[in-house]
Amino acid sequence: MKKILSRRESDIYQDISHFMMIKYPDIIYRFDFAAGMKMTMNQAKNHKYLNPWSGYPDLFIAYPNGRHCGLFIEIKKKSVKVFKKDGSIYQDEHLERQFEVLKQLSLLGYHATFGIGMDHCIEIIDSYLRGEI
């Protein structure tokens, strides 16, 4: 039997972008798409110089909702496990760095969180834009 491959994060980005264009056409948002791109050595050096923060979230929605000044989501495929059953984060250097950046952004007044899969990301966006979180 042929194994079905997991969707790439970039596929989820495209779906979220489509959703935003239809449901929230006036809301400004941006994806950190370059993080997953193949670059030449010079492009990679330039990108690192211009973006020194590793762990920067995948999506930013520039909309204050009364509680927070904007929304950051670190997008993961549905198959990715971020938190253990006890609520602690899995020990993985990359996840831990992303979690630290999300905590720092939260302290600055943003709502910053992990979104696991398309449906979860949409729930977060809708809840945030309704002012519920």
Q: Is residue 43 part of a domain?
A: no
Q: What token pair was written down for 113? A: 């969180």
Q: Per-residue pLDDT averaged across 112-120, rounded?
A: 96
16 domain-assigned: no
pLDDT band, residue 64 (cuts 50/70/90) = very high
Q: Is the pLDDT of residue 49 over 90?
A: no
Categorize the per-residue pLDDT at 1 as very low, low, confident or very high, splitting at 50, 70 and 90. very low
Predicted confidence band of residue 68 (pLDDT cuts 50, 70, 90): very high
Residue-wise pLDDT for 18-47, tens only, equals 999 999 999 999 998 776 678 889 988 888
Q: Which residues of 98-111 are buried (b: 16+ CB within 10 A; e: fewer)?
A: bbebbeebeeeebb
Alpha-carbon distance of 21 to 25, in angstroms, equals 5
| Structure-block tokens of residue 73 | 């989501």
Count of domains observed in the chain: 1
Q: Angle, to 10 degrees, between the axis of helix 117-129 and the axis of helix 9-23?
A: 30
Residue 40 forms part of a structural domain: no
